Structure 1
Amino acid sequence: MFVGGVGGTEQRFYLWFDPTADYNTYTVIWNPFQILLLVDGIPARVFGNFEGAGVPYPNEKPMRMFSILYNGDQWATQGGRVKIDFSHAPFVASFSNLTLEGCVWNMEDFNGSLALCTSTTQGNHWWDGPEFSSLNYAQQGHLKWVRDNYLLCDY
């Protein structure tokens, strides 16, 4: 995750499932309270909004998400110790039933002001509801299980 053009918040996990065996459901909920990443309903990552404590939170520019496949030999493979097995190429990712919902930000309509987008829509969408402001007890347990058993590295 990048905030203000700065990364340094990376986490790497071993997966607790085989992503090639079947489709999985990946969910990202990004609201004023937290960014929540779920895999098949299981929280895998939470990036909370702690701006009050001086921690930057990505809420001042329009968000974007992308998915790519690339050779991550250095950072994604334990500093290059684990080489990518190119005998499994071509590497392919496919998506189905993709649903995107969010506040549509148009620089021309809002004169470049993100505040207008959030102030006119915040609280009017399902993802701004109280159930998405923090993890419930069961989700906290699932997140702990993922971190305790599958977290490889937390920068």
Structure 2
Amino acid sequence: MGVYSTLWEADDWATRGGLDKIDWSKAPFYAYYKDFDIEGCAKPGTASCASNPNNWWEAPAYRQLSAIQARKYRWVRVNHMIYDYCTDKSRYPVTPPECTAGI
């Protein structure tokens, strides 16, 4: 398994249609991972995907949001999110599978 990231010029679609301009004077732009450890599983629901008791984020309290947390999450999305590829039908006519979980 690997993790890759990229920076790209998305001035026309990821910036509210160009309303938020990229400040190119801040270049070069860097992204890096430090002490990054990823766990994955090939088939959810199988033994390869068993929870690790050493991972605090896998505790039952973190598996789903409470009603109050979900409301706060929706508020942040409505008031601060600029772009959501899950709703971008011009680029993704078929909704990506990770977008169907929803909150």
TM-score (norm 1): 0.40
Please state if 1:83 is matched with 2:21: yes
Which protein has the bigger strand share?
1
Aligned length: 81
State the distance in 2 between where 1:152 and 1:95 align. 24
Please state if 1:71 is matched with 2:9: yes
State the distance in 2 between where 1:146 and 1:131 align. 21
Higher relative contact order (CA 8 A, sep 6+): 1
How far residue 75 of structure 1 moved from its aligned partner, in angstroms, is 1.3
Q: Return the match for 1:142 from 66, 72, 86.
A: 72
* Counterpart position of 2:30: 92
**RMSD of aligned Cα (Å):** 3.1
| Structure 1 spans left out of the alignment, 5+ residues | 1-62, 106-114
Structure 1 128/67 Cα, relative in aligned 2: closer, same or farther at 3 Å? Answer: same
1:3-152 matches, within 5 Å, as 66-103=4-41, 105=42, 115=43, 118-122=45-49, 124-126=50-52, 130-152=60-82
Which protein has the bigger helix share?
2
